[in-house]
Each structure stands twice: as C-alpha cells, then as structure tokens.
Amino acid sequence: MLFRHEFVRKGQMELIEEIKKTVEDGKVGFFEAPTGLGKTDAALTATLEFALQQQKKIFFVTPKNSQHKIVVDVIAGINNKYGTEIRAVDFVSKPNLCTDPFLYSGGSEFYELCEKKIARNGCIGYLNTFGKNKEQKVNAYRNIEQFKQKYKAVSHDVLRERCLDDQILCPYELSLILAKDANVVITDVNHVFLPTIRQKFLMKMNADMEDCIFIFDEAHNLPNRIKNSLSASINKKLLENALKELQRLEPKLKDDLEEFIETFHNWFMNLKSGFVDYNAFDELFAYYNYDAIINTLSKSQEFTIEKYETKSHLGTIAEFLIAWFDGKESKARYVDARGTLCCQSLDPAVLSKPVFSDCYAGICMSATLTPFEMYVDLLGIERETVQKRFSSPFPEENKLVLYSQEITTKYEERKENIPKICDVILNTVNSVAGNIAVFFPSYKLLNEVLSCVEDKTSKKIFVQQPEQTPQQAKRLVENFKEMKNTFGGVLFAVIGGSFAEGVDYPGDELIGIIVVGLPFPEPDYEMQALIDYYEKKYKNGWDYAYVFPTISKIVQGAGRAIRTETDRAFILLLDKRYSWSKYKTLFPKDFNFSLYSQERIHRFIKNN
C-alpha cells in the first residue's frame, strides 16, 4: 500500500479499502467522511497502485486551487517514502498560469489575446517551450526533459515560478506536456465537465475517458458548479457597454449590428421582473437572422479583442443568446429583482451524465453528501454506485452542538425574533474570550442584526460584504484570525459563502460558531423553478432544491472550527426547528443536539 504517513487514522483504513474496491470494480462511489479522516490521502492511496498497474490516469478534481497543493504533497510524500517516481501535475486555467504580466489578470478575452501573441511569435515562453528552428527545438526538448527529471510532483505555483527562472517557458503548455506522462492530474471542474474543454484536454494527453479515474473532492458542490457553468445573464450595464463598444467597431460591423443591438436594448428595458418565456425572442428573430447576428457578434468580439485588447460585451451577448436557446426545458429564464435577465441551468446531469457513464471509475467525497440518492439523481448517474458514510475520528466531546428553543427565523415570525437573536449573540460574544463566527441566511438579516449589536460589544466585528474582492476577503479573514490573541473578534458572514465554506479556522482561530435561523434561501425565481423542475423530474422538488442543500450548508459552516484532533468549538444553532426530527435526522451522527443555555457554553469553554 502506498501511504505516506507512518500511521493510518481511525476509520481511514476502511475508507481506503472501500475506495479501492470501488475503483477495481469500475464503479462510482459516494463517500461521506468528515474532516480529519484524511480523505485526500485515502483516495490516492486507494487508487494509485491499481492505476499504475492498469495504466489508468487519475484526475483529482477540486473546487479550489489552494487545495491542489495538498494532492501534490501526498504524491511527493509517497515518492519520498517509497522511492517511487509517480508523476503529478497541478493543472489550473491558462490565465492563472500565464507568466505574461500584461495578460496575467485578463478576463474571458485572455484566451484570444494569448493566441494572438502566439500567432505573431510574441510570446518568449511559448517559443522556448516549442522552439521555432531546429536548434531552438533541441533546446526546448532539453529544457522540458530537465524539468521532468527534477520535478515529479509539482504545484502550479512552483511550476509557474520555475517557468520565470533562467529559461522562460509557458507554464500552461509545459503543464500539458507534463500531463501526458502524469499518473495524477490535479484539475478543476471545468476541465472535466465542459465537453469542448475536456475533449481538447484529453486529446492533448492522449487519454480516453475509459482510462480515467475521477476523484471529486468537495463533491457536494458539483451540482451547483456544473449548473453555473451552463448559465448566463445580462444586465443594463452590460448592454450600455455593448452600445459603447458598437461605436468603436469598424464601419461594416457597426452597420450590421447597430439596429439589432438598439432594438435588443429597447426590448430589454421594457422587461419586468418575473419569468420570461423561452420564445421571448421570436419576434426579434423573425426580423433578424439569428445565425447572421451570432456570426457578426463573434466577429465584433474578435475585432475588439484584437484592436483594443479588452473584454467584448458584444461577445457576451452572443454567449448569452447561445445559452438561451440551448436546453429549452432544463433552464429557467427570468428577470430577477435587480433587473438582470438570467438564463439559469437547472440540470447538472446535462454535463455530468456522460462523464460518469464513460469514465473507468468515479469517486465522490465530501463531509456532506446526505442524502446520497439526491447526488446520484442530480448528477444523472445510471451505473452501479457504492455509498458509504464514515464517522468523525475526532473526540465527540470536542464539539458542543446547541439549539435554541426560543428563536426562529421563519419568515412570518422573523421580525419579532430579531431582538432575541441579538440578545443571544451579544450574551455569547461578550461573555467568553475568543473568536466567534456568526453565519446568517442572508445579507439582509445580517445587516439588521449588525445595526442592533455593533455598538453593544467591545469585540471588533468583521463583516463580509457581497461585493468584496478575493483580496479584500483574504485580508478580512487574516485580520479576524489575528484577534485570537486578544479578547477575540466576531465575524459576521453569510452561510454558504466563502467564509463559511472555503476557509478553515483551526486551533483557537475560532472557539464557536453561531448559525442564525434555519438558513433557507429567500424564495426567488431560480428557487421556484428548481423546485418545479426537480418535482417533475425526481418527484422531490422541495427537498432537492430547498431543504437538503440548506442542511449541507449548515454542516459545512459548522465544521469550519474543528479541523484537527485537538480543536474544540461550540456550535449554536438559533432556531427551534432544529428540534424537528425531519431536519435533525439530516445531520451527521456526531451532531449531538442539546438545548442552548449560556451556562452550557461557559462550562464547555472552561473545560478547554
């Protein structure tokens, strides 16, 4: 067994054996295992030997680039321990790998700008990677062989850095070359599920789907991520920018598009909030030829990128129209409360079904995959599946789960409950030292509570904002974590957001988490459409669209504080509905609910 650590953790061996059997039998497996079990190590140990013997390629698919390094570390650890030469490539998108400082922060137009640079021999990295004349080709070959010799498992950060040293290479092209020989390719959802990207990606690696073993980490996110990649939207600002872009086009393109864009803009301005019919464009395209318009929009996009090296809003309109007419039944079309015209996919199976049916084996892992049947349904899996749930390896007494019997955020009772919510939050944060996170169902409720509590605590409150850039978010979390060295800080964030799912707060970075209410999403057009669609397709609209995803978000958020064996935290759930068995039974077994009292929290903290 190729396992990098000295000891296998409690429950980890069972997980390894289950995954190993699933892969050897060529099945799809769902494994719900909490933090701390060592899922990444287990999945790689379980699949590596089989993949090496049977010449299969492992694709480790994670939602965040930051998680790629852990996979690289596992492979490097195995190579160190056993003297093996297992090759792993950490593959991220081209814009994230590119070393050109001017293209590096580019948006969707990045790809065309890169191609343009290559075409005019303007990219040294590309030239060094492939070479033009015989001598350059020999040099390029030698550089790549040296790289292969030196690095067996390499993260994208290191690869990018190395490509800036001495001999400048294109990190993206180098990754593709390395991926051909790699045993493990670490990548993202788009490279696997978007058919055109996947086909090119596999073709460049000389790999067939039946030779691929996919390991999906954080698999609870798959349905949403896939749905979003099929969705598109346009708003007033985008159309105004498109009108401006029109004025900068060459005369022929401008003449061909001007009337259409103006008519489209006027049509858009008359839309009202609500569902929009699939046939809403019938009148427009009875007059304008759809294919000709898409063609001209695409040419205009090329022109804008070529001439101005900026994003093309006309190109976005083309993408939107294509998305609109693709998948009549599997998309919801509506104008939301902010006036955005949305074309939202409802069905991830459109993209995931062929992946799961054509691959050799698939492993879906997460701390929250309850109920398994929902994921099987939503991902459109028709082959045999293995479904296993594992318990937490951490001491149960390290987690105190409390719920309030006095509070609810049920819509009709919400207003009268806000003072009670504020009281519990203030009593808790003011009476114990340490960092506490409070997760809300929405920014609206967050702000209502914030305005009542902000001047009643000496602890600094760090507030998540809807429009925060990743850099601002990172800084906010770092500053909040720093407060652990003082009496503590308070983090106000929304459940399901990046602070409640993407960030870990180990050790004393967080001593407690408060979840306000049972954070069901606000009913909106997308939710309404999802409920109807899932009801029609799976006879379980309400649970699939509304209940199960909400519980999954709570479990994810509540799990942020306990990441190691010695971490301790209380989880305070502010809603009496947590006592209802229909919700309670959806939580993992290590959620031992007891009734909230400040005394219980104090006793728990004192025992630290």
Binding site for ligand SF4 (CB under 6 A): 94, 98-100, 103, 114, 117-118, 123, 125-126, 170, 172-173
> Which DSSP symbol is given to 342?
E
Residue closer to ligand SF4, measured from CB, 122 or 419: 122
Cβ neighbours of residue 355 under 8 Å, at least 6 residues apart?
192, 193, 198, 209, 214, 362
Whether residue 363 contacts residue 29, with contact meaning beta carbons closer than 8 Å, is answered with yes
Residue closer to ligand SF4, measured from CB, 96 or 442: 96
Please report how close the Cβ of residue 114 comes to ligand SF4 at its closest, in angstroms.
Answer: 3
Closest CA to 217 of 95, 336, 70, 91: 70
Closest CA to 428 of 467, 387, 456: 456
Q: Cα separation of 290 and 283, whole Å?
A: 11
Find residue 332's DSSP bridge partners. Answer: 344
Please report how close the Cβ of residue 355 comes to ligand SF4 at its closest, in angstroms.
Answer: 26
Q: Cα separation of 189 and 364, whole Å?
A: 13
Please report how close the Cβ of residue 113 comes to ligand SF4 at its closest, in angstroms.
Answer: 7
| H-only helix segments in 270-413 | 282-287, 290-308, 313-325, 349-358, 372-378
Annotate 443-477 with b (16+ C-beta within 10 A) or e (fewer). Answer: bebbebbbebbeeeeebeebebeeebeeeebeebb
Please report how close the Cβ of residue 102 comes to ligand SF4 at its closest, in angstroms.
Answer: 9
Residue closer to ligand SF4, measured from CB, 93 or 224: 93
Q: What is the phi/psi pair of residue 438, to 5°?
A: -120, 120
The 3-state DSSP class for residue 274 equals: strand
Please report how close the Cβ of residue 98 comes to ligand SF4 at its closest, in angstroms.
Answer: 3
Distance separating the N- and C-terminal Cα atoms of the chain:
38
| Element of type H or E holding 585 | none
Residue closer to ligand SF4, measured from CB, 117 or 227: 117
Triad 547, 64, 336: Cα angle to 5°:
50
Residue closer to ligand SF4, measured from CB, 172 or 193: 172
Residue closer to ligand SF4, measured from CB, 144 or 400: 144
Cβ neighbours of residue 349 under 8 Å, at least 6 residues apart?
377, 378, 379, 380
Please report how close the Cβ of residue 105 comes to ligand SF4 at its closest, in angstroms.
Answer: 12
Q: Cα separation of 368 and 524, whole Å?
A: 25
Residue closer to ligand SF4, measured from CB, 20 or 117: 117
Please report how close the Cβ of residue 216 comes to ligand SF4 at its closest, in angstroms.
Answer: 27
Residue closer to ligand SF4, measured from CB, 126 or 492: 126
Cβ neighbours of residue 306 under 8 Å, at least 6 residues apart?
112, 116
Closest CA to 186 of 95, 71, 77, 52: 71
Calculate the alpha carbon distances from 74 to 2, 3, 178, 531 in Å: 10, 8, 18, 41
Please report how close the Cβ of residue 212 comes to ligand SF4 at its closest, in angstroms.
Answer: 25
Give the count of alpha carbons within 13 A of 162, CB side only. 18
Residue closer to ligand SF4, measured from CB, 104 or 411: 104
Please report how close the Cβ of residue 206 comes to ligand SF4 at its closest, in angstroms.
Answer: 21
Structural tokens at position 111:
């790809």
Closest CA to 178 of 90, 98, 96: 90
Residue closer to ligand SF4, measured from CB, 126 or 334: 126
Residue closer to ligand SF4, measured from CB, 4 or 116: 116
Whether residue 30 contacts residue 384, with contact meaning beta carbons closer than 8 Å, is answered with no
Please report how close the Cβ of residue 600 comes to ligand SF4 at its closest, in angstroms.
Answer: 56
Please report how close the Cβ of residue 188 comes to ligand SF4 at its closest, in angstroms.
Answer: 16
Give the count of alpha carbons within 13 A of 78, CB side only. 25
Please report how close the Cβ of residue 305 comes to ligand SF4 at its closest, in angstroms.
Answer: 13
Residue closer to ligand SF4, measured from CB, 11 or 95: 95
Residue closer to ligand SF4, measured from CB, 38 or 125: 125
Please report how close the Cβ of residue 101 comes to ligand SF4 at its closest, in angstroms.
Answer: 10
